[in-house]
Amino acid sequence: MNAQSNNPADVELEITNVAHGGVFVSRLDGRVIFVADAIPGERVRARITESSKKSFWRAETVEVLDASPHRQSHVWASSSVDVDPADRAGGAEFGHIELSHQRELKRQVLTDSLQRFAGVGSDVQVEAVPGDDERDGLAWRTRVSLHVDEEGFVGPYAARSHRVIRVGDLPLATDEVASAAPLDQQFRGAESVDVIAPSSTQSARIVVREPVKKGTSPANRREQTIIERVGDRDFFLDEGGFWQVHRSAAELLTSVVQSTIDEALFDPRAANLDLYGGVGLLAAAVGDKFGSTTRITSVESSARATDHAAENLSDWVGAQSITARVDAYLRGLVAQSSAAERARLAAGTVVLDPPRSGAGKEVVASLAELRPAQLVYVACDPVALSRDIGLFAAEGYQLTALRAFDLFPHTHHIESIALLTR
């Protein structure tokens, strides 16, 4: 297992544990080295790729000297350790690790983050999505964004770079996306090429994106509307709008959010909130569980997504969608709500699905001021989730339930759903 091991700058390293971000920890002369493409317990030869920081360096594995029993042939040959690090395709950084051990490593990252940033011990397990083990964790991506090189050919970026790598296959993509991906075609002048397979159709769409003209905003691009089906419900959204990437994610998150809500604390007449609501997936989950008269307000900064949410939530007489930044919206509630409105907010349930950076101090502080009865927090980053749980704990909210799912097999990402109550 060797990409190129005769470089005099290469070093031998013992890999001790996993770190957040899909890299692994070693030490060299007392300095922390974050190493890619390794597994804890291995001895590897690695190439130092970043040495400018005082606190840590980065390295790429070029040869495995003592392999972990959990190492496997990479599921994507384009990302294998046999390929020179500069030419490895990014996007499958755990593909060299047996699937069950990937989940164990993700569990360690999540539990370590909870302990470090929130002071919370947890025995949470990272659960497989039904059907993924039978597919060896492959064929789950319903959306792939391919970058375009100077000659117009498409591909993913190399790991930790903006260099386009030409590849012959996309093993994490669904069959519809993989077969439609124009990997051997040229798109001169294009910025990117997206391949999308909506669940409501049997074929994939190819969306060629041109560079944004100077003085214009990407938000002004004209987008076609697509339909995603979750159970027997349709959701309208722009073809470039946010939607869960895993083919089963939307249905799974709908079910888990519904089961996570503490029914004893839920009041359908309260001022319930769906923050960072997108096109209304999780607001609909709440409405479907508690009935058509459920009051819920979905807040989203994208006007196009909010327009779609209004249509997607039209079955619920008490549902509305608002275009606003979540932090600004909550500031307004704190500053302007009457006593009666404050009482309805305090009886409410808040579902929030923030971006990878998390909700953050200001949003947490505003929610703590409004004192909702419970918060259901959907997170795609364990460190951001843990930091926010720590912030909520300082405001009197405790973590009372937590589940985690491997919605991104062969990558380091996980999805977590937490319940916080006061």
Measured between its terminal Cα atoms, the distance across the chain in Å is: 52
- Report how far residue 109's alpha carbon sits from residue 354's, in angstroms, rounded to the nearest whole number: 19
Collapse the DSSP code of 390 into the 3-class scheme (helix H, G, I; strand E, B; otherwise coil) and give the result: helix
User: Is the CB of residue 351 less than 8 Å from the CB of residue 288?
Assistant: no
Catalytic residue among 195, 380, 391, 414: 380
Strands (E), 335-413: 349-352, 374-379, 398-405
Which residue stretches of 297-351 are H helix? 303-312, 326-336, 339-346
Residue among 107, 115, 46, 64 at smallest CA distance from 404: 107
Cα gap 350→296, rounded to integer Å: 9
Per the CB < 8 A criterion, the answer to whether 408 and 19 are in contact is no
Active site residue 380: yes
Mapped onto helix, strand or coil, the DSSP state of residue 171 is coil
Provide long-range contacts, Cβ within 8 A and 24+ apart, for 5-11.
5/45, 5/62, 5/63, 7/47, 7/62, 9/47, 9/48, 10/45, 10/46, 10/47, 10/62, 10/63, 11/45, 11/46, 11/48, 11/59
195 vs 145: CA distance, rounded Å: 6
**E strands along 149-212, which residues?**
154-155, 192-196, 205-209
Q: Provide the annotated active-site residues.
A: 380
